[in-house]
Structure formats: structure tokens, C-alpha cells
Amino acid sequence: MTPDETLLKTPLHALHVELGAKMVPFAGYDMPVQYKLGVLGEHNHTREKAGLFDVSHMGQAMLEGPDHVAVSKALETLVAADIEGIEPGSMRYTQLLNAEGGIIDDLMVTRPADPALAGRLMLVVNAARKAVDYAYLRDKLPAGIKLTTFDTQALIALQGPAAETVMSNWCAEAAKLTFMTACPATFDGIDCTISRSGYTGEDGYEISVRDADVEKMARTLLSHADVAAIGLGARDSLRLEAGLCLYGHDIDETTSPVEAALTWSVGKRRREEANFPGAGRILKEIGEGVSRKRVGIRPEGRGPAREGTQIVDAKGEQIGVVTSGGFGPTADAPVAMGYVDTAHAKLGTSITLMVRGKPRTAEISAMPFIEKRYRK
């Protein structure tokens, strides 16, 4: 058996190959890193029009309990967000936490809009972590709460300023949604669930649909002149410009939400109750500060600083490391994020990056590096 044969394939794999994609291993799947437009062309197309992403490798699952309160409280034993406060038809970003307050994974949680489904929560988790997440949930959730994984459900994302116009051609419900809301919908006769969300900093949608229907839907979307297929390369540069974390790079099981500059995701009520994993550490960090912090970085010049680049102070002593970095086409400059000692985390602080052994000046910068264009 060749290495390629051990890789999983999404339901759109044949379409990627047909479109001339360069395929690479990612999170156990054979995924498109770029198409004929190239990474730069795909990045710019998404910012200017609309890009179609295959994110079917992500994990989709459902928690089900006797009622709204029971299922919410159950998940709240593992995350720091206010899950009970999610309105029907709305979604929330949060993190699964270990006992030390480290991040097992970051995920999206959606409460279905239908009141008859009040006892359910829909989850979307990262591809590389879904087996870990599902095992953790099954081990820790209380009796009476059931986890169901959707292994025959695909997920695609349409992102960019033209996304609403494009979607509205085939999906009447699309224009009614605002950022971080979701609803059941029909796309050209195909049943699906759509959310107004994504990971590019642009307006757009994520569409959950049966494996059997996703290729027809993707081909329909690609038939629109404003839509192009987008691979993992541009997905990474788009999310980096938007200042969004990538699990396993910018966050992991040693990182707390406070260190990761995700304190906003820790609910006010949850802080008062202090009953989530790692609450002692996280609340202490909120109150007293942290020793390191995720920050935006703008290197001088045009060359990017990649993941793993050491960050040093004026004396040459290491004060941090770059966790994500590259050239930002929309920012028209290299951009990066990483962790630095809090003493050097103030905006405008000058730092030095050791790029291939050579020092380069950089500055601590605000994130995102581009203006986010969500539909509020």
C-alpha cells in the first residue's frame, strides 16, 4: 500500500482532481493545496469575489440531551463559553479545555433554530483533532447526553464579498442570516444547513450537506462567474491576515485562552461561576496577567518570517517564537503571529526576528492585519 492510499478522501476529491488541483496530505486527508489560479490568485479572488472551499475533513457532530438546559450545562463542564446563552439559530466560538486550562481544540457550537430541537447542539471541530475530541467528549459528558458524529455529512464554505449575491441565486434563506447565525435551508432543491460564518475575515457561508449532494452543489456554485475553487494555501494566508488561530500552530494543549488572546471567548457568567476546566489558572491569568501572549507581528521588508522563527530582544535573548507567518497579499506585506513575553507585547514594540540565522527588525502589531467584513 502506498502512502497516498492511506489518506482519506472527501466527497469532492474527484472534483478537485478534475479541476487540476495540486493535492497534499493534510490532517490525514488528501486535500487540494492550490488550483490553476495559484495561491496568490486564489487569495485575491476570495477577497475580491467569492471562493469555494472544501472543508469536509472537519468533524461535524451533535450533542443531544433531554432539554436546552441539560445539554448546555453538560457542554459547559468542558468549555468556558456561555453555552446556555446561545440563542436558537445562533452559534458561538469556544475551546475544549483540559484540566490545566489548555486548549484541546477550538470549535463552533450552534443551537438549532427549530424550537423542537432545543435539546441539541451542533459542533464543528478541527479535522486533526476530531478523534481526540470525540473520545474526550464521550469520556467526560454526563449520563443522558448523547454524542452523534455525522460521518456522511460534507461541509463547504463560500467566502468573499460576492458570497451573498451568489448564494441568493439558489438559496432564499442566505440573505436573511447575519454573522454567526444559522438555519436549515434549501439550495436548488437540496436540503442543507447554512451558517453565516467562515475563517477568512470575509463575509460568507458554511454549508453542511449530505455527501451524496455536495458535488452537485459545488458544481452549481462553481458555475457562477464570481466563484473559484480555493485550496489550503490561500485558506492559510486568508486566516493569517484575519488574525485567526490554527490549531497545532497558534494554540495547543499547553496554551490557555488568555495567553492566546481569546479571553473574550470566556463568558462573563462562567467567570463568576468558575466551574470550567482549568478555571483556577484561567481566572488568575485574567486577573493578574500572563507571562506570554499571542501577538501580531509585522516584519520590515518584503520577506516573510515563517513558523518557528525565534524572536529576540535587543540583547539577543529569546523572548518568543513565530507560530504562523507568511506574506499577506491583501496587507501587501509580510505578516505573522506568535508568542512573546508580556513585557514585549505592547503594540509598537520593536523586536528582532532571527530569519535563517539573520536578524530582521519587526514590530508588534494589532490584529487583524486587514479589515474584517462580516455581515453584522
pLDDT tens track for 212-262: 999 999 999 999 999 999 999 999 999 999 999 999 999 999 999 999 999
Amino acid in position 202: E
* Residues of each domain in the chain carrying CATH 3.30.70.1400: 59-149
504562523: which residue's cell?
A: 324
CA distance 51 to 38: 13
Residue among 126, 78, 369, 155 at smallest CA distance from 249 = 126
Which three three-digit cell numbers place residue 261? 488572546
How many residues are present in the chain? 376
- Cβ–Cβ contacts within 10 Å for residue 350, how many? 12
CA distance 102 to 331: 31
pLDDT tens track for 278-336: 999 999 999 999 999 999 999 999 999 999 999 999 899 999 999 999 999 999 999 99
* Contact predicate 23/8, CB 8 Å: no
Residue 312: per-residue pLDDT? 97
pTM above 0.85, yes or no: yes
CA distance 296 to 275: 31
Residue 2: per-residue pLDDT? 43
Question: In sequence order, what are the beta bridge partners of 1?
Answer: none
* Residues of each domain in the chain carrying CATH 2.40.30.110: 291-365
Q: Is the peptide bond before 329 cis (omega within 30 degrees of 0)?
A: no
Residue 4: per-residue pLDDT? 56
CA distance 324 to 187: 36
Q: Provide the 3-class DSSP secondary structure of residue 274.
A: coil
Long-range contacts of 114-120, Cβ-Cβ distance < 8 Å, separation of 24 or more: 114/88, 114/184, 115/88, 118/67, 118/68, 118/88, 119/64, 119/65, 119/66, 119/67, 119/68, 119/70, 119/71, 120/62, 120/63, 120/64, 120/65, 120/71
CA distances from 81 to 73, 84, 211, 270 (A): 11, 9, 31, 7
What is the CATH code of the structural domain delimited by 291-365? 2.40.30.110
Residue among 202, 206, 177 at smallest CA distance from 192 = 206
Residue 314: per-residue pLDDT? 87
Question: Domain 59-149 in CATH: superfamily?
Answer: Aminomethyltransferase beta-barrel domains (3.30.70.1400)
Below-50 pLDDT ranges, the chain: 1-3
Residue 5: per-residue pLDDT? 63
Phi, psi values for residue 326, rounded to 5°: 180, -175
CA distance 266 to 151: 30
CA distance 156 to 215: 10
* Contact predicate 21/199, CB 8 Å: no
